[in-house]
Amino acid sequence: MITFRAPGRVNLIGEHTDYNAGFVMPAAINLSAYTTITPRDDRQLIIRSDNFEDEIEVDLDDATNLAARNHWSDYPIGVAVTLIRAGYQLRGAHLEIKSEVPMGSGLSSSAAVEVSVACALAANSDLTIDRKELALLCQKAENEFVGARVGIMDQFVALFGEERRALMLDCRSLEYKLLPVPESVRLVVCNTMVNHALASSAYNERRAQCEAGVKHFAKHLPHVKALRDVTLQDLETYGRGLPEVIYCRCRHVISENARVLAAAEALERHDLQRFGQLMAESHVSLRDDYEVSARELDVMVELATGVAGVYGSRMTGGGFGGCTINLVDSEHVENFQRTVAEGYEQATKLKPEIYVCEASKGAEQTDI
């Protein structure tokens, strides 16, 4: 019997850049999913989760015929099926999943489950799969089996995250850089507790607008394959012919990529003030140029910005609700929580959930 742990994550900066082949900067957090695996002599996978009541049985010889059924087990089964489809031979096993990562709160409980399950299945079947491939297989499971159009960020940082480090990822090349997050800083996630229904249609619309932008710039600059390839100078020179709204969408993505690079430099210099400033600029850009914020997110950021010990605050995740990420000095965290929770409740009549996190290590075998 062995156990694998894989963490949730929060994105510090670099929003809506992943599908533009750009840069993101998440950190793995100290909330994890755990999968304990015990070998079986037969060809069955038995999967249980502490967080749900039922137990799922999968015949490994029949697994590739399975399809998602909108059930929690789609994620672990998707991982098993994707490993098999990639040519890996799995052995029968009993899997027990439990997780501290709150579900659907923007901390990527799904990638935590996928990665812990993938590591457990690989070890149980004596497979050596490198971490990059594991990340890609877990993403594929979520894209193709579960049917969620997600980027590589969550799975990647769940595998490559390190203690007291943020991870800047180039979503095109999958090159990455680990950057120091001082021990005195907490990554505080504030959940607005709203999720406006707009999200998926608006997401598709933003993607289409980015593609329209790429088409426009490629006419002038043949090397442009994604907005990642367009500089702020190019935007000035060639962007004027674009419809206003497309221009603004492009400006967000292009400036956000530049902000991630600047944020990485700031962390390398231990310059948290500068990092916080870039977080604030990111929020404004997401609010005004990309138009994916929500009143509740703006209220939460505004409340946080005035509080002692706060370096920066911005919405994190796709937008239209969900969470903010706040970089807060550990000595001021208690006061921060109290002040923001009270202010938010007064302004919205909603009780926020607040998770105080630290940048933590990626997936590993562990004692439970």
Sites of contact with ligand ADP (CB under 6 A): 33, 49, 51-52, 72, 75, 97, 99, 103-110, 113
CB-nearer residue toward ligand ADP: 104 or 182: 104
In order of 8, 165, 202, the CA distances from 180 in angstroms are 19, 5, 34
Which helix (H) or strand (E) element contains residue 76? helix 74-85
In order of 29, 122, 146, 257, 323, the CA distances from 7 in angstroms are 6, 18, 20, 25, 18
Residue 104 binds which of ligand ADP, Mg ion, none (CB < 5-8 A, kind-dependent): ligand ADP
Q: Is the CB of residue 336 less than 8 Å from the CB of residue 175?
A: no
Residue 99 binds which of Mg ion, ligand ADP, none (CB < 5-8 A, kind-dependent): ligand ADP
- Smallest gap from Cβ 240 to ligand ADP, in A, equals 38
CB-nearer residue toward ligand ADP: 106 or 343: 106
Supply the residues annotated as catalytic: 154
- Smallest gap from Cβ 148 to ligand ADP, in A, equals 6
- Smallest gap from Cβ 100 to ligand ADP, in A, equals 9
The β-bridge relationship of strands 185-195 and 353-357 is antiparallel
- Smallest gap from Cβ 52 to ligand ADP, in A, equals 6
Q: How many other C-beta atoms lie within 10 A of the C-beta of residue 1? A: 10
CB-nearer residue toward Mg ion: 82 or 110: 110
Q: Is the CB of residue 326 less than 8 Å from the CB of residue 312?
A: yes
CB-nearer residue toward ligand ADP: 239 or 319: 319
Residue 354 binds which of ligand ADP, Mg ion, none (CB < 5-8 A, kind-dependent): none
In order of 39, 43, 123, the CA distances from 61 in angstroms are 16, 7, 19
> At which residue do the structure tokens 């999200």 appear?
199
CB-nearer residue toward ligand ADP: 114 or 162: 114
Residue 35 binds which of ligand ADP, Mg ion, none (CB < 5-8 A, kind-dependent): none
- Distance CA(170)–CA(272), nearest Å, equals 22
Q: Is the CB of residue 145 less than 8 Å from the CB of residue 81?
A: yes
Residue 103 binds which of Mg ion, ligand ADP, none (CB < 5-8 A, kind-dependent): ligand ADP
Residues 98-137 touching Mg ion, rule: CB under 5 A, are 108, 110
Q: How many other C-beta atoms lie within 10 A of the C-beta of residue 171? A: 22
- Smallest gap from Cβ 239 to ligand ADP, in A, equals 34
Give the phi and the psi of residue 338 in degrees, each rounded to 5.
-65, -50
- 145: tokens are 């089996």
- 127: tokens are 């497979």
Binding site for Mg ion (CB under 5 A): 108, 110
